[in-house]
Each structure stands twice: as structure tokens, then as C-alpha cells.
Structure 1
Amino acid sequence: MVDHYIWGAAKRLSPEAPVPVLSAKNETVTPGGAGNVAQNLLQLNARVAIGGLVGNDDAGRALVKQLDDELINTAGILVDPGRPTTIKSRMMAGNHQLLRVDKEVTENMNSALEQQLLAGLEKELEAADMVLLSDYNKGVLSPSFTQKLIRLCTKKRKKVIVDPKGLYYEKYSGAYLIKPNKRELAEAAVVEGIANDKELDAIAKKMLAKIKCNYLVVTKSEEGLDLISKKEYHNFPVKANEVFDVTGAGDTVFASLGYFLAIGLDIKTACELANYAAAVAVSKVGSVAVTIDEIAAIAAQNKK
């Protein structure tokens, strides 16, 4: 997935419609989705191998080249000629997002690509300490493929953590941890909303009872995150001094959790450090990778 930003200023309304006119100054293109997760892991000094699909187009080739240039192992990325590379274009007036335009095809990949992708990922598993599944409902992590991959990881004794999407969390059964945000959890639980932490704890425990999973980590944007198991509930309140943009903060939390668990930290410590990472991420504009030094700095500041 590609994150495309058009930056500029909006100082007047269009005479054609009641919308602002963006005077574009420059554009930036960065890896989005699982690519953003990979970049976050890279900034945490992890060695990263990534798998997925891109289209047979300039955007896909540029994305793979950028990841290659950053020394991310892209052997698991396949080309699907039947879909374009997913591009999210955001129109930014200063730090304010005016509009987002998505270019994508979200049908499930065909069985041949599924088998090829699974075989490629199996080759990378031997060297892996942790497997992160970043689901964006773009056609890769279908229920059948997700279960095949989780069973393969379980067979090889590799923990799987999931950043979910959609309503069918049963497809993540067997994962060690699932990290929805509060809105996503409400949608998956088929409730209108979650009013407070007591409701969140009850809904999360019901979800855990439905799926074979050790933990839910529920991110709450600028409010921090919660860790829930079948018997425990822990709240990690927000650590940010300022909140400018929550774009990509979920990816930062997800990557941080994966990294800190992979190096052997316990789940509570991993959540605490991931919460600090999120605090750094929301203080910046756009999808940004957070470094160990930045996490250490904000952790030290909050310990005072």
C-alpha cells in the first residue's frame, strides 16, 4: 500500500462547489499499510521480511524498490496483474486533511497466488522471532489464507499478532494477540459503541471467549490503550503531550508490540513501551516511524 500526500494551502472556496481549493506545493510518497509497519520495525532496529501483493504498475515497482533500498526483505511480495497497487492519496492543507482518495481492488487473491504466497512466507519463517499480520481487507488475508498461515506459524512455534480488519475475528483464531482499535472492536462485537472502560473490558472478554487468542490490545487513539486477557484487564493511559495527527499511530503500536515481544519482554512491558511509541507518533503529522531513542526519551520524561 502506498501513502500519497499532496501538501499545500487552502485559502479560498471553489466557485464551482462549496469546497476549499488546495494550492498544491509538493507531494510525498511513502509505504503505507504493512509497508508502514515494516518501516516502524526497521526504525526499532529489527530485521524485517515482508509479504503481500502489489500491482503490475509503476506504483508497485516503486514501492518494492523503496523497501529494498531500506534493506527490508521483499522476497515475499508478489505481483498480482489483476489489481492495481493500493494508493491512499491525502490532500493536506497545512496539517489538516481535506480529502482522501483511495485507488484499490479488494477482491480475495486467487488460489494460485495464495499457494505461492504461503510457500514464500514459509521460507522466511525459520529466521523469524515474531509474525505480524497487518490486515487491511485488501484481498490478501482472506479467512482461508489467514487460517493456513496461522496454522503454519503454530506448527513452527512462531507467535502471531494481528492488526485486524472487518467483522470476522474467528479467522484470527490461534493468534497470540489481536490489536483492534475501539471502533473496530465495537463493529466486530456488533454494538453501537463503547461508552467506557468497563464496557470495553466486558466486550473484549466476550470476544476472547469466541476466538482462540491469548490477548486483545485495544488502542483508543489519543486515550492510550488497554490490555485484556480472559482473566485480566490493564489500562495504559495516554502519554502524549500534544496530539497533531493519529494517522499511522495504530501501525506504530502494532510494530512496537511485535518488536518488544520478539526481543523477549513480557506483555505488560511491551504494551507500556508501545503506548510511549504511540505518544510520539500522534505528536507528528502523517504516518511516521518512531525510533528507540524517541521512545526512551518520552519514557524518561514520564518517569520524572
Structure 2
Amino acid sequence: MLSDLDFTDVSILVVGDLMLDKYYFGSVNRISPEAPVPIVEVNSSKYTLGGAGNVLNNIINIKAKAYVVGTIGRDPNREILKQLLEERKVNYYLLERDLPTITKVRVIAGHQQVVRIDFEEIKFLDNKESKKIEQYILSIIDKVNCLVVSDYGKGVICPELSRFIIELAYEKDFPVVVDPKGKNWSKYKGATIVTPNLKELSDVLNVEVKNEDGEIEKYGKEVRKKYNLKYLLVTRSEKGMSLIAEDKVYHISSEAKEVYDVSGAGDTVVATLATAMSAGFSILNAVKLANTAAGIVVSKIGTAPITLEELKEALRGYKNKKVKSLKELIHELKILRNEGKRIVFTNGCFDILHRGHIEYLREAKTFGDILIVGFNSDNSIKKIKGKDRPINKQEDRAELLASLEFVDYVVIFDEETPYNLIKNIKPDVLVKGGDYRIEEVVGREFAKETVLVSFIKDYSTTRIIEKIRSIE
């Protein structure tokens, strides 16, 4: 079954343009007196692997093994990039060049990218440099079962190295997956599969390809045949993907329910596709899995790789994107806090959702930007209210809460109190009902502020249950 995913025996070599991404997060409250530009007051920063490194991140996150080959400069940023690779326990070979380590610096204020600063100098590998990389690839080739060419057009994937990789993969009889760039696709000739988006397909053909099935089929077949590709996979944004094989075309619909950020989705597709093919999946099942992975990552805020747990969960069936595990929620909160968002938390059983709950939660949202609602599991409610409760199962209660527009995230807890949740979430504002006194509020020491909100009179789950019983 697709849901029984295990990639621990898969090893993939990624060759391509490795980059260092640095993010500065802050807020804008004034304009510079020196020029008509915003002043960003930075409150946090972070480094991540970019370019081919994002493909690598996705491979590791779905529990496959990874090797990476790229280039670095002779500058301080090379040490940061190496440290990131070592933290992820990745086997790497980085060729030093008299060029800057490719670095992208992004300044983010709220949801808006204010500016991006690039440190790079594009120069393709010379013959001597290409041979050094080829020798390393030969030294580890028997340790891997798939090759990924991650071409960002920054100089690593020169025609000579690309041809060497594809011919070696053919000789070893394992797949080579290419994420292309530019118009020179002759260097990808004979690859197992090339994965252009619509713009990249248009670029190589020098025509504007419309995002329609007929156009994709017509031009996709032309490109697949011209470059002797076993498969061509065209990623089509909100319309999903199209797989062009020798004798058939498959159109796979998008699985994204909500789209927040498409950045990095192509890398997720390449990583998942390569991993699934290496694990013995049929090409169609591998593409379907990659499509599922893409649908997950575009529903996240920022460039975030897929995880194996998310893939398994998605394959088991529908899940509301607002319903998170504590681990998932903590990841999302890091991003939101970097954007300066004010986090509000409240909790309850919410057994039978009624107007009192609605008004309470609506008011709770007014204290910040993001409202997180913690709710008791079925087992937890039984301990508190007895064996006849809850009336509604936890899955149903989660879906009802998540359907409210002013609720941003829903998270379940199995203890009688949300102490552990609050300790991990550390909200800016902790909201509780007016039937509490401040000193009675559990976990208030982990919140910056605790607020009491009055309930609407005569609304309660207990009262509703009593009324139903009196009718019976």
C-alpha cells in the first residue's frame, strides 16, 4: 500500500547548484529619512539550505539517505553551508572555487518580502573542475540507487557533467531525475525523467505553452521525443501535473486544498519522485505521491520541506489543514513568530458547539493575529465528565472548530489540562472564561499575558444535554 511508506533503504545522490539562504524577519513601522524606503526592524534571522539543498532537505525528511555534490566559494558563508549539511548528517563533496558561495539574503516584513540580495557569480565548471566532481561521483556511485540533477543555472550542471551523470545512470540501470533550467536541454538527453514547470517548458520550446491539457500533450510529446526522455513530467501549478510517456499521457489533478506559498514545491516534487522511483514504485504511483507531497507543501507558510508523517497522513485520507499535531504546530509557530505575529491560545472541550462557544472564540481572536484552540481528547473528557461524554467524537469536534473562520489552528491534548500545550506553545495571550480567577488559570506562567472573557449567559453543553433529556 502507498500508505506503508518506508524509504530507509533508498540512497540518492543530488548533484547541482547548492545555495545558502539567509532570512531576516522583522516589521516596518516607518520610512527612512535618507530615502523613500521602509526601515525593517529585524527581530530574528535564520539560515537554511537552498537550491539543490532544498531537494536534499526533502529527501532527508522522508527518511531516505542522501549524498550531495556542489560548489562553494572561499568565503565565510562556505562554513555556514558546511555546518548546515553536517547538522543534517549528509555526506557531501563541495568543490571550492574562486567565486562567492551562492547566497540569497531575504528581508521579510510581515508576509511581504521587502528585498532579496544575491551573492553569486555564474561561471560553468571548466573541464578540470568537472573531472574532479566526476571522480567523486564514481567513488560513491555503488552506495546510491538514484541520481538527481538539480539545475538552477548557476554553473554546476555544465553539459559535460550532465552527460556524464546520465550515461553513468544508464550504465548502472537506475533512474536519473532532472530538474531543468534554461533552453539547452541537449545536456539532459537520455534522462529517465525531466520535470519542467510550464515556464520552463515554454522556454525550451521558445513558445508560450498554455496551461491546457491539449497544449501540454502536444508540446510535451515533442520535447520528450526530441531529447530521448523516457518520461516528461510537467508541473502545472493549480492544475496539477501531466506525465508524458512514450505511448500515453496522464493528467493528475492538484491535491492542494489551500495555497499559501508555492516556493520550493518543485524541489519537493523532484525529491519525492526520485525517492519513490528508487524504492520501486511504478512511474505513475511515484508521480501521484509527488503530487500529494506538492499539495502539502504549498499549503504551508514559507519554504518548508515535506515530512514522511505528513505524506502518510495525506495518503490515509482528508485532513483539515488547520488541525495540527503539537510538533507540526511548533514548526508553524516559528515561522509566524518570525513574521511578528501575535499568538493567542485558548482551550476547552467543545463537546456540543453552540453560540456561547462561537462568541467566546470570536472575542479571543481579537487579542492577536493567530488563534490556536486546544481541545480535550475523548479519553480526557471521559476522565473529567464521566463515561457518557463526549457526545461528539474528537475528529468531529476538530473539524467543526477548524471550520470557523476566526480559528487558525486546532490541536488536541490528552491530559485533563492544557498545561503541556501552553508550555510548548508559549502564547503571547492566554484566554480563559470569566468563571476563572487569573490565579487559577493553568499554564499562565508560560504566557506573556492572561485575559479572562465572559461567557454568554444561558449557553452551555450541559444545559443543551439536559434539555434534550427532558424532551425524551
Does 1:66 find its partner at 2:95? no
Deviation at 1:135? 0.4
Equivalence for 2:136: 120
Task: Indicate conservation of the 8 Å contact 2:175/2:277, yes or no.
Answer: no
Aligned to 1:78: 95
CA 1:303–1:236: 2 relative to 1, 3 Å: farther
Q: Give how far 1:87 is off.
A: 0.8
1:23-42 to structure 2, matched below 5 A, reads 23-42=41-60
- Aligned residue for 2:317, secondary structure, equals helix
Match runs of 1:248-267 below 5 Å: 248-267=264-283
Matched residue SS, 1:88: strand
1:190 and 2:206 are equivalent in the alignment: yes
Shift of 1:34: 1.1
Q: Which amino acid aligns with 1:100?
A: R
Check the 8 A contact 1:7/1:27 in 2, yes or no.
yes
Give a deviation string over 1:110-169, Cα, whole Å, max 9, x none: 222111111001111111111111001111111122112211222222321100001111
Contact 1:150–1:175 (8 Å) recurs in 2: yes
> Among residues 235, 255, 258, which one is paired with 1:219 in the alignment?
235
Aligned twin of 1:108: 124
Alignment of 1:146-165 (within 5 A): 146-165=162-181
Question: Could you say what secondary structure the match of 1:126 adopts?
Answer: helix
Cα shift at 1:53: 0.6
Candidates 172, 175, 178, aligned match of 2:191: 175
Note the C-alpha offset of 1:17: 5.0
CA deviation string 1:81-112 (max 9, x = no partner): x1111011222122332322221111112222
1:282 lines up with 2:282 in the alignment: no
> Where does residue 49 of structure 1 map in the other structure?
67
- The corresponding residue for 2:448 is none
CA distance in 2, matches of 1:10, 1:231: 55
For the pair 1:87 / 2:103, whether they are aligned, the reply is yes
**Which residue number corresponds to residue 230 of structure 1?**
246
What amino acid sits opposite 1:293 in the alignment?
A: E
Is 2:270 the counterpart of 1:240?
no
| Structure 2: unaligned runs, 5 residues or longer | 1-18, 321-472
Preserved CA contact (<8 Å) 1:125 1:153: no
Counterpart residue type for residue 166 of structure 1: G
Q: Secondary structure at the match of 1:112?
A: helix
1:12 to partner: Cα distance: 4.4
Change in 2 beyond 3 A, CA 1:95/1:221: farther
Q: Distance in 1 between matches of 2:200 and 2:133?
A: 27
Q: Is the 8 A contact 2:179 2:195 kept in 1?
A: yes
Partner SS state of residue 265, structure 1: coil
Per-residue deviation, 1:288: 1.5
Look at both structures and tell me which one has the larger radius of gyration over its CA atoms.
2
Greater relative contact order, per chain length (Cα 8 Å cut-off, separation 6+): 1
In the TM superposition, residue 248 of structure 1 has moved relative to its aligned partner by 0.8
Separation in 1 of the partners of 2:49 and 2:126? 24
Give the aligned CA root-mean-square deviation in angstroms: 1.8
Code of the residue aligned with 2:260 in structure 1: it is F
Cα separation, partners in 2 of 1:242 and 1:19, compared to 1, 3 Å: farther
Q: Matched residue of 1:188: which SS?
A: helix
Alpha carbons 1:128, 1:158 under 8 Å: kept: no
TM-score by length of 2: 0.61
SS in 2 for 1:32: strand
d(CA) in 2 for partners of 1:249 and 1:87? 20
The percent identity for this pair of structures is 35
Q: Tell me the residue number matched to 1:9.
A: 27
Q: For structure 1, which segment, 44-53 or 284-293, has the greater mean C-alpha deviation from structure 2 after superposition?
A: 284-293
Moved more, 90-99 or 112-121: 90-99
| Alpha carbons 2:177, 2:192 under 8 Å: kept | yes
